[in-house]
């Protein structure tokens, strides 16, 4: 009993039951005074105890105790109206069951719910007003803050910051001219966002919070430009994209990052179809510790799979994703496997033991300059690794195999792109000869992924520069890790087999623009505080990437952000022979033979990379000789 009384809701429950008692006694007194007839039984008799018990159960059933008085709102008043009305109906039922007359008890039936509503509602509203006034007086000493956006998120943020404390909200800015002079929870809309600099100066603001989660990249770029011109610290709410299928949390503030400026409008996914396609399935993710692989694991973990199997050859990456899954998804059945899928025994053992329903093949080498000088390792991992795991999938009747590819596989000018194109070709051919559905998903660069340009630029900025860009005109397609992973899953449930799905990457972004934005987000000025220098294109590097080959006509799918490329056919006997020869070449460390195989299967490579190939072969031959000398 004493334990229950210490519950934080105990005082509220006691208050409400006392109010029920007062309302009941008041209704009975009015019945006596107005109708001139006796009230229903003894005032403190069995009838009163029954009313208290029934009304208390009603309060609990309707959910009156889920909210807090300090956050009392119209929704809480609606709950009180329902509880009072249902209470009146219960009294009417009680009268009928005890043989009474509804007409004779009309004063009780009308006055009880009305008085109960007033007794429950007025204290809550008075407490809320008192608490808000108190918080306002405290927050007036906090950080002087302006909010950008007077929509739903801005309104919720005003309430959240008030209750959190430490923020003196000076006003709201919004581009809707009809809102100027209006109030949002007592906070005035001072003007347009474009007037930020003048308003910051006028009100001596210290912080700007951007409360427009649905803003496009162009809108965010413009807003950030206004903030930078004002010289004020600025933060933002998470975007709608940050939480996948969940709603944005108003209580989380974060610095503006490059994802907010280069991300696109939130992708609308068919979560029902994704959930139906993945829930109750056993899913295996190769390269599950990498940037894309780990995010796919997080997304799948939310969709209630039977089991998630994570495979990675990096001990550290596997350790990280293992800790994350254990902490964040405690009800998830999962297994982490340390192993190299290029090893036939590993591929056979993992797929054979776990027998997954779906495989997301994200394991790949992707660093273009390094792979340009390491043909053997690029081919072994990106091509033979795909061959091993896809053959194991076929032998063990895996339902769906999803190859995660890249836009660099289109007209490849480098070793990395060529090896990924061979992996695509192999999966397309396997689909025609297997009961497994083989699906390829192709997309461009992913912001903040391991080894990508964004972390490199950030490191250079921390060191004081310079930031190195290969060419003033070089551009790339970008999307966020979350968006890429979600679209991969959407494509996986759309595909029927043999498709190459291409994700809509939006407009390409110039790399020097990316560098300038990262410098500004770090509070520096490009060309003044941090220099940008151009180092020249690296071997195999394009000025711009392509998403479709000229011989791959594309068409729309049922999802506006996913396109279907009509792939080119490659003869199966030629492919089999090339794979057999390349396996022997890998064992012999015959780089020249591997390059010849790549050119045979991907003729585009020879047109642009032939001069480079001799240099690559020479470098790798030198590495090979060094290795042999050490062994001897």
Report whether pLDDT(210) > 70: yes
pLDDT band of residue 15 (cuts 50, 70, 90) is confident
- Identify the residue with better confidence: 403 or 142: 403
Report whether pLDDT(47) > 60: yes
Q: How many CB atoms lie within 10 A of CB 106?
A: 15
pLDDT band of residue 1 (cuts 50, 70, 90) is very low
Report whether pLDDT(243) > 50: no
β-sheet bridge partners, residue 406 = 443
The reported pLDDT for the residue numbered 563 is 76
Pairing status of strand 254-255 against strand 233-236: antiparallel
Rounded to the nearest 10 degrees, the angle between the axes of helix 511-521 and helix 217-230 is 40
Distances (CA, A) of 258 to 454, 473, 515, 534, 554: 8, 20, 10, 21, 30
CA angle centred on 437, ends 334 and 402, rounded to 5°: 50
Q: Compute the average pLDDT of residues 199-220.
A: 83
Task: Bin 233: left if φ > 0, else alpha if -120 < ψ < 50, else beta.
Answer: beta
The reported pLDDT for the residue numbered 426 is 94
The DSSP annotation for 484-499 comes to HHHHHHHHHHH--SS-
pLDDT above 70 coverage of the chain, percent = 76
Eight-class DSSP state of 380:
I
- CA torsion through residues 49, 54, 60, 62, sign: negative
The reported pLDDT for the residue numbered 69 is 46
Q: How many CB atoms lie within 10 A of CB 392?
A: 22
3-state helix, strand, coil in the chain (%, to 5): 55, 15, 30
Long-range contacts of residues 187-196, Cβ cutoff 8 Å, at least 24 apart = 187/147, 187/158, 189/150, 190/146, 193/148, 193/223, 193/226, 194/226, 196/146, 196/148, 196/226, 196/227, 196/229, 196/230
d(CA 517, CA 457): 11
Same fold, 140-256 and 271-614: yes
The reported pLDDT for the residue numbered 625 is 36
Backbone φ and ψ of 100, nearest 5°: -85, 180
Peptide bond into 466 cis (omega under 30): yes
The reported pLDDT for the residue numbered 594 is 94
CA angle centred on 532, ends 528 and 533, rounded to 5°: 130
Distances (CA, A) of 487 to 326, 398, 501: 25, 21, 10
Q: Which residues contact 141 (CB under 8 A, 6 or more apart)?
A: 168
Nearest CA among 265, 248, 270, 267 for reference residue 151:
248
- Sheet containing 500-503: give its strands across: 334-338, 307-312, 282-286, 358-361, 400-406, 437-443, 500-503, 562-565, 554-556
The reported pLDDT for the residue numbered 286 is 96
Hey, what are 522's tokens?
């770090």
Quick: pLDDT tens for 549-563: 555 556 666 666 677
Nearest CA among 68, 88, 74, 84 for reference residue 120:
84
d(CA 526, CA 337): 45
- Identify the residue with better confidence: 63 or 224: 224
- Identify the residue with better confidence: 533 or 267: 533
Could you tell me how far CA 32 lies from the centroid of its own chain? 63
Pairing status of strand 233-236 against strand 500-503: unpaired
Q: Compute the average pLDDT of residues 254-263.
A: 67
Domain positions in the chain are 2-134, 140-256, 271-614
- To which residue do tokens 């790798």 refer? 620
pTM of the model: 0.63
Q: Which residues contact 451 (CB under 8 A, 6 or more apart)?
A: 366, 367
- Cα first-last separation, the chain: 82
The lowest-confidence range among 256-260, 295-299, 399-403 is 256-260
The reported pLDDT for the residue numbered 552 is 55
- Identify the residue with better confidence: 95 or 438: 438
- Identify the residue with better confidence: 539 or 355: 355
pLDDT band of residue 630 (cuts 50, 70, 90) is very low
Task: Bin 497: left if φ > 0, else alpha if -120 < ψ < 50, else beta.
Answer: left
> Ranked by mean pLDDT, which of 46-55, 356-365, 458-467, 557-566 comes out on top?
356-365
Pairing status of strand 554-556 against strand 500-503: unpaired
Report whether pLDDT(515) > 70: yes
Half-sphere exposure of 188 (CA within 13 A, CB side): 7
Rounded to the nearest 10 degrees, the angle between the axes of helix 481-494 and helix 271-278 is 70
Give the largest Cα separation in the chain, rounded. Answer: 116
The reported pLDDT for the residue numbered 450 is 66
d(CA 542, CA 3): 70
Q: Compute the average pLDDT of residues 454-481.
A: 85
Quick: pLDDT tens for 109-137: 777 778 888 887 777 777 766 666 655 55
Nearest CA among 349, 352, 348, 350 for reference residue 335:
350
pLDDT above 90 coverage of the chain, percent = 25
Q: Compute the average pLDDT of residues 462-468.
A: 89
Report whether pLDDT(430) > 50: yes
Question: Considering the domain 271-614 in this protein, what is its CATH number?
Answer: 3.40.50.720
Given a contact cutoff of 8 angstroms between Cβ atoms, the answer to whether 31 and 105 are in contact is yes
Given a contact cutoff of 8 angstroms between Cβ atoms, the answer to whether 565 and 500 are in contact is yes
Long-range contacts of residues 90-94, Cβ cutoff 8 Å, at least 24 apart = 90/51, 90/54, 90/55, 90/58, 91/51, 94/47, 94/50, 94/51
Q: Which residues contact 57 (CB under 8 A, 6 or more apart)?
A: none
The reported pLDDT for the residue numbered 37 is 59
The DSSP annotation for 162-189 comes to HHH-SEEEEEEE-S-GGGTT-EETTEEE
Q: Which residues contact 573 (CB under 8 A, 6 or more apart)?
A: none
pLDDT band of residue 104 (cuts 50, 70, 90) is low
Q: Which residues contact 190 (CB under 8 A, 6 or more apart)?
A: 146, 170, 171, 172, 173, 180, 199, 203
Report whether pLDDT(341) > 60: yes
d(CA 363, CA 347): 12
Rounded to the nearest 10 degrees, the angle between the axes of helix 572-588 and helix 415-431 is 130
Quick: pLDDT tens for 269-291: 677 778 878 888 899 999 999 98
Q: Which residues contact 229 (CB under 8 A, 6 or more apart)?
A: 196, 197
The structural architecture, per CATH, of the domain 140-256 is 3-Layer(aba) Sandwich (3.40)
Rounded to the nearest 10 degrees, the angle between the axes of helix 106-139 and helix 152-164 is 70
The lowest-confidence range among 47-61, 452-466, 612-626 is 612-626
Q: Which helix (H) or strand (E) holds 84?
A: helix 74-97
The DSSP annotation for 33-74 comes to HHH-S--SS-TTSHHHHHHHHHHHHHHHHHTTTSS-GGG--H
For the chain, give the mean pLDDT. Answer: 78
> Ranked by mean pLDDT, which of 202-216, 307-321, 472-486, 613-627 comes out on top?
307-321
The reported pLDDT for the residue numbered 359 is 96
Hey, what are 23's tokens?
């309302």
């Amino acid at each position: 009993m004493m334990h229950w009384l210490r519950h934080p809701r105990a005082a509220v429950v006691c208050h409400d039951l006392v109010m029920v008692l007062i309302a009941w006694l008041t209704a009975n007194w009015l019945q006596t005074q107005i109708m001139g007839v006796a009230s229903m039984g003894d005032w403190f008799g069995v009838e009163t105890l029954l009313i208290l018990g029934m009304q208390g159960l009603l309060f609990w059933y309707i959910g009156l105790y889920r909210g807090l008085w300090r956050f009392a709102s119209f929704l809480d008043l609606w709950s009180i109206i329902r509880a009072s009305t249902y209470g009146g109906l219960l009294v009417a039922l009680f009268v009928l069951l005890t043989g009474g007359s509804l007409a004779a008890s009309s004063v009780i039936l009308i006055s009880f719910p009305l008085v109960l509503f007033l007794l429950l509602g007025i204290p809550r509203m008075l407490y809320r007003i008192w608490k808000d006034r108190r918080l306002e007086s405290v927050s007036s000493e906090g950080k002087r803050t302006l909010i950008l956006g007077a929509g739903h998120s801005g309104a919720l943020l005003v309430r959240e910051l008030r209750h959190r404390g430490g923020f003196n909200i000076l006003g709201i800015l919004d581009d809707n001219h009809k809102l100027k002079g209006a109030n949002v929870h007592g906070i005035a809309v001072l003007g347009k966002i474009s007037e930020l600099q003048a308003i910051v100066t006028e009100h001596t603001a210290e912080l700007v919070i951007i409360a427009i989660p649905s803003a496009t990249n162009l809108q965010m770029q413009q807003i950030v430009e206004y903030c930078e011109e004002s010289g004020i610290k600025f933060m933002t709410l998470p975007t709608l994209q940050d939480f996948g299928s969940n709603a944005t949390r108003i209580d989380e503030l974060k610095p503006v990052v490059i994802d907010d400026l280069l991300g696109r409008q939130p992708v609308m996914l068919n979560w029902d179809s994704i959930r139906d396609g993945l829930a109750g399935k056993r899913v295996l993710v190769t390269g599950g510790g990498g940037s894309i692989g780990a995010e796919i694991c997080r997304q799948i973990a939310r969709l209630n799979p039977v089991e998630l199997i994570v495979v990675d050859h990096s001990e550290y990456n596997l350790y990280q994703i293992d800790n994350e899954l254990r902490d964040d998804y405690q009800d998830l059945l999962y297994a982490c496997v340390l192993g190299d899928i290029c090893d036939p025994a590993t591929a056979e053992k993992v797929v054979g033991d776990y027998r997954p329903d779906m495989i997301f093949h994200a394991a790949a080498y992707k660093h273009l300059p390094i792979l340009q000088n390491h043909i053997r390792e690029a081919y072994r991992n990106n091509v033979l690794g795909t061959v091993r795991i896809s053959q194991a999938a076929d032998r063990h009747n895996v339902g769906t195999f999803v190859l995660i590819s890249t836009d660099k596989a289109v007209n490849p000018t480098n070793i990395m792109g060529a090896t990924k194109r061979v992996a695509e070709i192999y999966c397309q051919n396997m689909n025609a000869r297997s009961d497994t559905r083989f699906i390829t998903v192709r997309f461009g660069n992913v912001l903040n992924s391991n080894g990508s340009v964004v972390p490199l630029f950030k490191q250079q900025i921390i060191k004081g520069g310079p930031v190195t860009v290969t060419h003033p005109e070089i551009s790339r397609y970008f999307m966020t890790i979350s968006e890429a992973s979600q679209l991969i899953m959407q494509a996986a449930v759309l595909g029927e087999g043999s498709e190459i799905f291409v994700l809509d990457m939006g407009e390409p972004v110039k790399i020097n623009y990316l560098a300038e934005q990262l410098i500004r987000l770090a509070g520096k000025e490009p060309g003044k505080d941090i220099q940008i220098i151009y180092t020249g294109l690296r071997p195999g590097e394009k000025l711009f990437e392509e998403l479709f080959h000229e011989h791959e006509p594309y068409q729309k799918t049922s999802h506006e952000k996913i396109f279907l490329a009509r792939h080119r056919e490659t003869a199966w006997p030629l492919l089999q022979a090339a794979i057999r020869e390349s396996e022997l070449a890998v064992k012999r460390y015959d780089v020249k033979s591997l390059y010849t195989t790549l050119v045979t299967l991907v003729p585009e490579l020879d047109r642009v990379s032939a001069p480079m190939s001799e240099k690559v072969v020479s470098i790798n031959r030198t590495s090979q000789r060094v290795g042999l000398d050490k062994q001897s």
